[in-house]
């Protein structure tokens, strides 16, 4: 079964480069967006030459996506801690 290559829109690529610039961590931005760091690095090189992406700016939709992922992770961690507390605070009689 052959793998299909994902096609990304021009706007997505530009937004991804902006996110990486804002975070200052290309690997984290790539992980958040679900793309490879190598691909994001290539996009950054393309758009750096064009001057079309202002560093440090991030569109609201990408920021919202990132915040939702972070929120889900934090909720999961909280739930795990609640369960652990319930298990360890239950004293045998």
For range 9-18, the mean pLDDT: 86
Residue 11: pLDDT band (50, 70, 90) is confident
Residues 41-87: tens digit of each pLDDT: 888 888 876 655 455 556 677 778 889 999 999 999 999 999 999 88
The domain locations on the chain are 10-89
Residue 16: pLDDT band (50, 70, 90) is confident
3 state SS for the chain: CCCCCCCCCHHHHHHHHHHHHHHCCHHHHHHHHCCCHHHHHHHHHHHHHHCCCCCCCCCHHHHHHHHHHHHHHHHHHHHHHHHHHHHHHCCCC
- The pTM for the full model equals 0.49
For range 19-38, the mean pLDDT: 86
Cβ neighbours around 26 below 10 Å, total: 18
């Amino acid at each position: 079964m052959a793998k299909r290559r994902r096609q990304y829109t021009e706007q997505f690529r530009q937004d991804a480069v902006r996110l990486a610039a804002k975070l200052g961590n290309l690997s984290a931005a790539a992980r958040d967006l679900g793309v490879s760091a190598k691909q994001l690095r290539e996009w950054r090189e393309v758009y750096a030459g064009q001057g079309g992406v202002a560093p440090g700016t991030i569109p609201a939709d990408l920021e919202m996506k990132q915040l939702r992922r972070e929120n889900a992770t934090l909720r999961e961690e909280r739930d795990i801690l609640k369960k652990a507390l319930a298990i360890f605070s239950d004293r045998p009689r």
